[in-house]
């Protein structure tokens, strides 16, 4: 007797996400929407390996399955936990669930994915491997914190990256520079490029408190660490001849020593009464800060494709950003925002003066229009649909990187 297709539904493609990201239970609203969106991709079933927000490992289902490692207090312990337990967990999921795709959210997680992929091949269950490259991974870590034996650490990082890219089936990049760097490791590896996740509806829908040309405040959005260049922003702000303006530094002080140094710098420059160290805020509150500002400034020394630029633009706020990494992919200098040289407080001051001298109405409108066209949750989901389809193509049909 024949059976209909409805009686034998097509097996869904099994995807295992491998990441060192931290997840709460229940998920925060931004993460919850992201995984709901990806869970709705037709024909895929997703499981995520990451870290819990506490020292207790967790397993739960919220749109997708989460298998979370315990979050230990020291970075070294977290690294050891990840590289000791993640391969076992990933291997178990791949064997039990017959995983078709492994998504490694950096080349370093990718090295773990390669090991599982090769072992799976020995028993005829070889999954496809996607490597994600979100930033200048060879530089960013050393800007974030002091690393012992940096030359050895860098050599190990590069070895992991080469190993991962050599065995990957596709790459996901976020900017022209991350695409170029990925091609340097794997010239023929197919690539799909799209921005990291942002729940942009809140930024798109937040009304401005004032038109940009009437606003006077400056906002920085990002964590407080040396690689973000906030010390240059304080230097330039102190020399800006707009005493009514306030500078609002919105973001977590992930480097406590650097945050204290910034507070001391503000006092020494005589601007501490006009600088607000806001700390971390919700997406809704961040959108409100953007919507009240004349400009958002991101003086970073290294980035991937910073989504805060797109988020600020969506509220109709122009941006001053450094001419590095993926930032010029977003900022059209003098049109929708302004570009400056990195590590240069004088050039930042020039751009701030320009922003206050301009009627920024047209620039703000162009910034918003660009951002709305550049990213949407639907484009993000479509990016992963294309990425999965690219990774699943037969090897003979995988073309050169685009």
Task: Give pLDDT tens digits for 287-310.
Answer: 999 999 999 999 999 898 999 999
Q: Residue 151: pLDDT above 90?
A: no
Q: Which residues pair with 14 in a beta bridge?
A: 45
- The pLDDT assigned to 207 comes to 97
Mean local confidence (pLDDT), 113-141: 88
Predicted model pTM: 0.91
- The pLDDT assigned to 5 comes to 46
Contact 192, 103 (CB under 8 A): no
Q: Residue 47: pLDDT above 90?
A: yes
Mean local confidence (pLDDT), 363-387: 98
Token output for 298: 């991101």
Token output for 240: 């800006």
Q: Residue 2: pLDDT above 50?
A: no
How far apart CA 16 and CA 118 sit, in angstroms, is: 15
Enumerate long-range contacts of 362-366, CB under 8 Å, 24 or more apart. Answer: 363/212, 363/318, 363/335, 363/336, 363/337, 364/211, 364/212, 364/213, 364/316, 364/317, 364/318, 365/316, 366/332, 366/335, 366/336
Sheet-wide strand order for 319-322: 275-279, 247-250, 217-221, 293-298, 319-322, 338-340
- The pLDDT assigned to 9 comes to 65
3-class DSSP state of 171: strand
- The pLDDT assigned to 4 comes to 47
| CA proximity to 392, closest of 140, 41, 145, 153 | 41
- The pLDDT assigned to 188 comes to 95
Mean pLDDT for the chain? 93
- The pLDDT assigned to 142 comes to 58
Q: Helix crossing, 377-392 with 29-39: angle to 10°?
A: 50
Span of 137-151, 176-190, 226-240 with lowest mean pLDDT: 137-151
Domains assigned to the chain: 13-198+378-397 (3.40.50.2000), 201-374 (3.40.50.2000)
How far apart CA 276 and CA 140 sit, in angstroms, is: 26
How far apart CA 250 and CA 277 sit, in angstroms, is: 7
| CA proximity to 327, closest of 358, 355, 296, 354 | 296
- The pLDDT assigned to 148 comes to 72
Q: Residue 286: pLDDT above 80?
A: yes
How far apart CA 307 and CA 8 sit, in angstroms, is: 42
- The pLDDT assigned to 143 comes to 63
Mean local confidence (pLDDT), 369-386: 98
Contact 275, 249 (CB under 8 A): yes
User: Tokens 């409100």 sit at which residue?
Assistant: 288
- The pLDDT assigned to 61 comes to 98
- The pLDDT assigned to 140 comes to 67
């Amino acid at each position: 007797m024949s059976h209909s297709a409805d009686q034998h539904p097509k097996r869904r493609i099994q995807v295992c996400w491998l990441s060192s990201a931290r997840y709460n239970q229940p998920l925060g609203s931004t993460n919850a929407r992201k995984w709901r969106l990806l869970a709705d991709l037709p024909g895929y079933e997703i499981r995520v390996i990451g870290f819990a927000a506490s020292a207790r490992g967790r397993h739960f289902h919220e749109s997708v399955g989460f298998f979370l490692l315990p979050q230990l207090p020291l970075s070294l312990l977290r690294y050891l936990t990840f590289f000791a337990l993640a391969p076992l967990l990933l291997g178990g999921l791949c064997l039990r669930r017959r995983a078709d795709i492994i998504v490694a959210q950096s080349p370093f997680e990718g090295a773990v994915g390669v090991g599982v992929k090769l072992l799976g091949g020995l028993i005829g269950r070889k999954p496809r491997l996607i490597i994600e490259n979100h930033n200048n991974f060879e530089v960013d870590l050393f800007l974030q914190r002091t690393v012992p034996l940096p030359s050895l650490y860098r050599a190990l990082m590069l070895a992991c990256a080469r190993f991962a890219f050599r065995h990957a089936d596709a790459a996901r990049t976020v900017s022209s520079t991350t695409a170029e760097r990925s091609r340097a490791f794997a010239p023929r590896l197919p690539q799909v490029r799209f921005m990291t996740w942002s729940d942009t509806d809140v930024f798109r829908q937040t009304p401005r408190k004032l038109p940009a040309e009437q606003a006077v405040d400056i906002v920085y959005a990002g964590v407080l660490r040396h690689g973000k260049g906030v010390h240059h922003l304080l230097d330039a702000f102190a020399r800006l001849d707009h005493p009514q303006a306030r500078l609002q530094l919105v973001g977590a002080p992930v480097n406590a020593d650097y945050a204290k140094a910034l507070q001391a710098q503000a006092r020494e420059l005589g601007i501490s009464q006009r600088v607000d160290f806001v700390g971390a805020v919700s997406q809704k509150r961040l959108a409100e800060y953007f919507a009240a500002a004349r400009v958002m400034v991101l003086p970073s020394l290294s980035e991937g494709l910073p989504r805060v630029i797109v988020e600020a633009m969506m509220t109709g706020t122009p941006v001053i950003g450094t001419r590095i990494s993926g930032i010029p992919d977003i900022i059209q200098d003098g049109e929708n925002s302004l570009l400056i040289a990195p590590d240069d407080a004088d050039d930042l001051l020039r751009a701030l003066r320009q922003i206050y001298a301009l009627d920024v109405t047209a620039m703000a409108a162009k910034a918003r229009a660009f951002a709305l066209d550049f990213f949407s949750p639907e484009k993000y989901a479509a990016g992963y649909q294309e990425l999965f389809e690219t990774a699943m193509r037969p090897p003979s049909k995988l073309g050169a990187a685009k």
